[in-house]
Structure formats: C-alpha cells, structure tokens
Structure 1
Amino acid sequence: MAIGVGTIGLFTTLGAIFYAGSLLGLNSMDSLFIAAALSISSTAVIVKILEEMGRIKSESTILVLGILIVEDVVAVILISSLQSIALVGSVSIESIVVVIIVAIGLIVGTFTIGTRVITPLIDRVAAAEHREILLLSVLGVCFGYALLANIVGLSVAIGAFLAGVLVAESKSSEVSKLLASPIKDMFVAIFFISVGALMDVSQLQNYIVLSIALIILAITMKFSGNMLGNFIFRQQRTKGIRSAFTLAAPRGEFSIVIIKTGVDIGAVSAFLFPMIGVISIVTAFLTPFMIKASDKITPMLEKKNV
C-alpha cells in the first residue's frame, strides 16, 4: 500500500510542478530539480510533529511512515538520475536498477539478519545497565548502518532509519530513545543551521511570488496525488484523508539536498537554494495546521457515512 500510494503521490506532484515551472519561466533543468525537491515530504519534520502531537502510533501514521520510507528510497534514485541527466544528458537505466536492488537487499537484510544479530546484541548491552555504553552502542549502530548505506550507494538517511528499526525491535528501545533524544535534536539543529549558513537570501525578494506559487502548487498536488493513491488502493476514507493532509505540506532535508546537488554541479540556478530553504520553513510551519484540519474534516465524513 505504501509503495503504491507513495509512488502515485510523488510522481503526480513531480509532473505537475515540472510543467508549472516551465509555465512560470524556469528553464527545463531548474524545473526538473525543483519538481523533484518539492515532491519529497520531510521525514524529520513529520515524525517530530506527530511525536509531539502524540500520534506516532495511530493507524494513519503507520501508512504515512511507510510512504516516507518509499519516498526516501525514491529520493536516492532521483538524485542519481538528476546528476546523470545534468552531466551526461541521459538517464542510466542500469544505475537505477542497481539502486533499487541494493535498497531492497539492505531492507530485507535488516528485517531478517539484522533483527536476529544486532537487536539481541543491543539487549545484551542494555542488560549490563550502563547507560553510557548503551548510548554509544546505539549511536554505533546508527553511524555504522549509515556508513554501510553510503558505501552501497544509498542515502545515509535510509541507513540511519533502518538502524532505528533495529533499535526499536530491542527490549530496551524506550530507554535507547530517551538516551538518544538530546543527540538527535542536536544533529537536527546542526543540519539546518549549517544549511542556513550556506544560503544567500539577498536576492530572494525577486522570487517571492514564484515561491508562493510553488508552495501552493506543491501542497495541492501532494494532497491530491496521495488522495488518488488512497482511492486506487482502496484505503479507508478517513485514514486516507489524514495521511494525505499529513504528507501534503512539509518539505525539508531531501528537498534541500536535491537542490544543493544541482547547484554544486552547476546544473541549476543559484537562487533555487535559498528559495527551497524558505519553502521548507514555510511548509514546516503549515504542517501542524494541515494535520489539525484533517481532525475537523474526518469527523464530518464519519457522520455522513453513519
């Protein structure tokens, strides 16, 4: 379900923004990169907000998290493809197939071998009741898996996520989460501060109208695309609406990475980098309001069904 709904929502958004970017005066490469960036929802923002709202274990959240995993894998493929298009002028089908096979292999290996080897080791460390050693072990699994993902050509974010899956399967998952939480918050802050320090917003006033248009279009198309996917795969209406509202707004880490990649190789205009930063901030701010909007709409639908 997550693969189907997530793919439909992502590529519907990508196609619409690419076409709209061309109409708004962007060149083809700028339109392609900004479309890819705005088609990926922010895992970090969504998970943080859902945790703070106490909804991380709800039924619709399970679907949202599954879609976010799919989008992270697709983001890695998009980055590889966009680099190939910008540098060579064509897409290497072989490289895309390799990325997909490697991603599937790493995920399957995590749920089979990883849960039988690494998870019991975490429990053994936890049994010693030395919290400092447990924290170091959890961080070691995180960085180790991130390094492994990077070596095989995937995103470090996917590796870190799978490391979190292994920790969550252990009996000491709650303790590990509490111990790692301050470090997680610190790294999130470092990421956004370092990215912000790279942005030159002096010319941003020239692109305010474009930014607003892209924000409205990105939210509308992501919501519509996910609703279409939920309809095609016959998800419960209220569940589909909640997940579509949650995924509609936030853009973040992968959006920034995609545009930064394009700027670094000279494929896109430099103004896109500060613009995607502003879009990420605005959409992250809108996300809680989108989630609360779904709370008002779903009860109305349930009454109609009754």
Structure 2
Amino acid sequence: MGNITTWMDTLTSTLSLLNFYTPFPLLATEGETADSSFILVSVLLSLVVIYFASKLGGEICLRINLPPVLGELLGGVIIGVSALGLLVFPESGATASDSLLMKFLEVTSNINPESLQSVFSAQGEVISVLSELGVIILLFEIGLESDLKELIKVGPQAAIVAVVGVVVPFALGTVGLLYLFHLSVIPSVFAGAALTATSIGITAKVLSEIGRLTSSEGQIIIGAAVLDDILGIIVLAVVSSLAKTGEIQVINIVYLIISAATFLIGAILIGRLLSPFYVKLVDSMKTRGQLLLVSVIFAFVLSYIAQIIQLEAILGSFAAGLVLAETEKRKELEEQILPIADLFVPIFFVSVGAKTDLSVLNPAIPSNREGLIIAAFLIVVAIFGKVVTGFTLFGNPNLNKLAIGVGMIPRGEVGLVFAGVGSASGALSPATDAAIIMMVILTTFVAPPLLRIVFKEPVSTPQEAKS
C-alpha cells in the first residue's frame, strides 16, 4: 500500500508540473467541469475496476475448477476495503481519502476536497443502486430458468427445508449465545436471526453455472431460498422491533405474513392470466427490443410492488421470471437477457466482496478475540443448521439431500443486511458484530466450491424424484 501511495504522490507532482508548463491545462479543473461530470467519471472508473476484477477472478477460479461467482466475490474483496481500497463505500464509515479511485480522480481533475467527498458519496450510491439492479436482473434470469410447475410440485419439500433452515440455526444460535457465552437477550436474538438467512443470488448463480438449477435438488433449493427470504424478512422485522422498542409488534408481523403470501400468489395467478396479452403485445410491436423491454418493465413493476409492501425487490423479479417462463417467448427472452445480466450481475457480486471487511479476522486486535470465539460457534451452527435441512426430507431416496443442505449455507448479502441493521441499531457489540460478519464471509465463500463437490453425484431429474 505504501508503494501505491508513493506512486500516487509522484503522479500528482508530475501532473501539476505538466499543467503549469502548458498554455492550456491538460486536466480539467472543478470550475471548468460540472459536478455531475465528476460523478460520471468516478462511476466509470469504478465500473472499469469492477469488471476487471470480476473477469480476472472468474477466469482464475474457472481454471482451477471453482465457480466463477466465487472469483467475482474474491475479486471484490481484493479491490475493496480489505485490500487495495479501490472500491470503497461511504456506509462503511470510509471517506474519500480512503479510496484510491477518489485519489486518482483528485490527481487527474484538481477537484477540491469538499467536492471530492460529495462525489465519493454519490459514486457509492450509484454503484449500490447498480448492484441492486444486478441482483434483480439475476433473480429475473433465475426465474426464467426455473420451472414453475416443478417448483409447485416441490413446494411442500421446499417449505420443510425453509422452515427447518430458519428454526434450527435461530434456536441453536440464540440459546448457545445466551447460555454458553452469557450474552444479553437482544444481541443473542439478533445473531441468531442472522443465521437464518440464505443468499438465493449466490446459490442460484452457482447452480446455474454447474447445470443443476433445473434438477429436483436445485428446484427445492431455489424454492426454499425464496421462502427463506420471506421468513428472513419477518424475522428481521421482529428482531429490529425488539431492538428498538423492547417489544414485538404483532401487527407488523401479521402484516408482513399476509402481504408476502398475497404478493407471491397474486403475482403468479395474475401473471398467468395476463401472459396471453403479453405475447400478443410483443408480437404486435415492430420496434427493436420489444420483447426485452416489455419483459423488463413487467419485472421492474413487480419488484417495485414487492419493495413498497416491505418485501424484497428480488422476490418480485423472480416471480416475473417464473410467470414469463411459462410463455412461448421463454427461450428467446433467455437469450436476450443474458448480455444484460453479464453487464449488471458482476456489479452485485463484486460489491458484496468489496464491502466485506476482513480486518475482523485479525486476532491482534483485542476486540476481535472474543468475536473470533463467538464466530467459531456461529460458523458451526450456520453450517450444521442448513446442512441438516436436506435430511429432513423423508421418503425420497433419489434426492441428493446433502446437496440441498449445502445449497442453503451461503448467507451473502442477506446476512450482511442482518449485521448492518443490528450494528446500526446499536444492538450488537463490536465483538458480536465482528462474529456475524466472519460467519457471513466464511459461509459465502465456502458454499460455492462445496456445491460443486456434492453435486458430483448423479443428478436426480424431476421424474426420478417422483419414483
């Protein structure tokens, strides 16, 4: 890092001399360029770094027989707050001076520190929005690749996996922290709640990469992960209410349950009714990109509705994909959405990695030592609590039950949301917060290679699963 700083200082001096000795400055100053252009170039620089990290990491992992998505996550870690500091986000408490990209922008534009900080904040918001857009498109793509009829068939199995995957880790984590580590109730409950999460985005991407998304195991995992998101939102709402008020608001819980069920069932039923009109509309249009844009509009509308009723936008896009997958436009739409996904989805995975602070793994920091012990406990519970879910499915010997459990392990961005809310509410001590982050890191990075290992066994098709 010292060499990078020295290089930046040298570049600053050189550019200053060039500007001094030329009749027209080589670089624009703040007075010559609008703030919006500074934001634009900072976002462009960020995207260059993100795409480079995603492709480099993905190519390396692919060549050593690891899922490319793991390479994207690791690439994000390398360029993020834990290593190079190229892609840094304001919500972590960082400032413009912590970002090498912002330093590069300052050197090449002569922008003043005050404006640089505002550009840094805006750049972080734009990348975060693009990241959210990436995961929305990813879930839309996954919905297109999924079979709604098969999801309905595996619905009871997915429900069992989801419920067990929420109850077991939550109970074990909360009770263990209360009685083994003697933490107070609210931090224990918050940490236990963080164990319930499942990152459908990461698991779905890996399943798609290894060609197991449409297998019986893949459909059960996706269905359970969707239900996990719903249950996780409810758990998070309950725990957040407990942390803020000291009491659970039953009305909010009932509202979330009713709105989640109504939205999912209603979106699928109404979508099925409207799908013939969707096909006719697309066929009647003559402009370029009609299929893609009409489909994306549908996905974004459902995502918007899901978000405003306090669900996750990704559930809306996933429901849209499921509905459109039943139309005759499915194959054509799958082909058209691929380049859009290739453009936006890497932003999501790299951003998740970039926001991961590996300094919590440093035992030399006193506040981390207690967190390391708690983290070891949480990691064991996090893995066991999800792996056991597959073995709760009885009467179907053809299912790869271990693969189902492993597919539920990664917490990813969902677990980071729990940690972020807990930290912001003041409910978590630094040690507990560090322990949760470490649990999220390990489960996120260990699940993709484990999925590849457990899926080396012969895949069971829906027909085999029924026999």
* Length-normalised TM-score, structure 2: 0.57
Structure number with greater CO (CA < 8 Å, separation at least 6) is: 1
Q: 1:165, 1:5 → 2: CA distance? A: 20
User: Is 1:87 aligned to residue 244 of structure 2?
Assistant: yes
The 3-state SS of whatever aligns with 2:391 is: helix
2:281 counterpart (110, 119, 124)? 124
One of 215, 233, 237 as aligned partner of 2:379: 215
Out of 270, 275, 284, the position equivalent to 2:444 is 284
- Give the corresponding residue for 1:3: 159
Instruction: Tell which deviates more after alignment, 203-212 or 1-10.
Output: 203-212
Distance 1:119 1:259, change over 3 A: farther
Higher normalized helix content (fraction of residues) = 1
Cα distance, 1:277 vs structure 2: 4.7
Counterpart Cα distance in 2 of 1:59 and 1:129: 39
Matched-pair contact (CA < 8 Å) for 2:198–2:225:
yes
Q: Does 1:44 align with 2:208?
A: no
Map Cα deviations across residues 138-166 of structure 1 (whole Å, 9 max, x no partner): 22222211110122221212112112212
Equivalent pair of 2:204/2:213 in contact (CA under 8 Å): yes
Name the CA distance, whole Å, in 2 between partners of 1:127 and 1:54: 35
Q: How far is 1:111 from its partner?
A: 2.1
Q: Which amino acid aligns with 1:86?
A: A
Give the 3 Å change call, closer, same or farther, for CA 195–296 of structure 1 in structure 2: closer
Q: Which moved more, 1:31-40 or 1:281-290?
A: 281-290
Q: Is the 8 A contact 1:110 1:162 kept in 2?
A: yes
RMSD: 2.9
Rounded Cα–Cα distance in structure 1 between residues aligned with 2:287 and 2:276: 17
Tell me whether 1:294 sits opposite 2:454 in the alignment.
Answer: yes
Which residue type is aligned with residue 11 of structure 1? V
Query: For 1:284 and 1:127, how far apart are their aligned partners in 2?
Result: 45
- For residue 239 of structure 1, give the secondary structure of its aligned residue in structure 2: coil
Q: Give the match for residue 137 of structure 2.
A: none
Alignment partner for residue 77 of structure 1, among 224, 227, 234? 234
Report the more deviating stretch, 275-284 or 90-99: 275-284
Which residue pairs with 2:296 in the alignment? Answer: 139
Q: Distance in 2 between matches of 1:75 and 1:187?
A: 25
Q: Which has the larger radius of gyration?
A: 2
Instruction: State which drifts further: 24-33 or 219-228.
Output: 24-33
The 3 A distance-change label for structure 1 pair 197 and 293 is closer
Please point out which of 269, 284, 289 is paired with 1:112.
269
Contact 2:177 2:183 in 1 (8 A): yes
Residue 213 of structure 2 is aligned to residue 60 of structure 1: no
| Paired residues of 1:9 and 1:222 also in contact (CA < 8 A) | yes
Q: Which residue of 2 aligns with 1:304?
A: none
Report the counterpart of residue 302 of structure 1 in structure 2.
none
Matches within 5 A, 1:184-195: 184-195=341-352
| Partner residue in 1 for 2:426 | 266
Q: 1:89 and 1:284 mapped to 2: Cα distance?
A: 31
Please state how far the C-alpha of 1:128 moved relative to its aligned partner.
4.3
SS at match of 1:12: helix
CA distance in structure 1 between the aligned counterparts of 2:187 and 2:304, rounded to whole angstroms: 31
* Aligned-pair CA distance for 1:290: 3.0
Q: Distance in 1 between matches of 2:261 and 2:384?
A: 31
Q: Would you say the 8 A contact 1:41–1:249 is kept in 2? A: yes
Counterpart of 2:84?
A: none
* Larger deviation, residues 124-133 vs 211-220: 124-133
CA distance in 1, matches of 2:348, 2:232: 18
Tell whether the 8 Å contact from 1:204 to 1:271 is kept in structure 2 after alignment. Answer: no
Q: Residues 245 and 290 of structure 1 are in contact (CA less than 8 Å); yes or no, is this contact kept in structure 2?
A: no
Find the counterpart in structure 2 of residue 17 from structure 1. 173
Evaluate the alpha carbon distance shift between residue 74 and residue 209 of structure 1 in structure 2; reply closer, same or farther with a 3 A threshold. same
Paired residues of 1:125 and 1:133 also in contact (CA < 8 A): yes
State the secondary structure of the residue aligned to 1:63: helix
Deviations 1:171-229 (A, max 9, x none): 2223323322343354443334445555554444124444343222211121124423x
Q: Which is further off, 272-281 or 112-121?
A: 272-281
Cross-structure match for 2:321: 164
SS of 1:264's equivalent in the other structure is helix
Number of residue pairs matched?
A: 295
Contact 2:391 2:402 in 1 (8 A): no
Corresponding residue SS for 1:237: coil
Which aligned segments of 4 or more residues in structure 1 are displaced greater than 6 angstroms? 296-299
For 1:252 and 1:164, the matched residues in 2 are separated by 22
Structure 1: unaligned runs, 5 residues or longer: 300-306
Going from structure 1 to structure 2, the CA distance change for 1:296 and 1:56 (only over 3 Å counts) comes to closer
Identical positions, percent: 28
Could you list the runs of 5+ residues in structure 2 that have no partner in the other structure? 1-155, 363-367, 460-467
Deviation at 1:3, TM superposition (A): 1.8
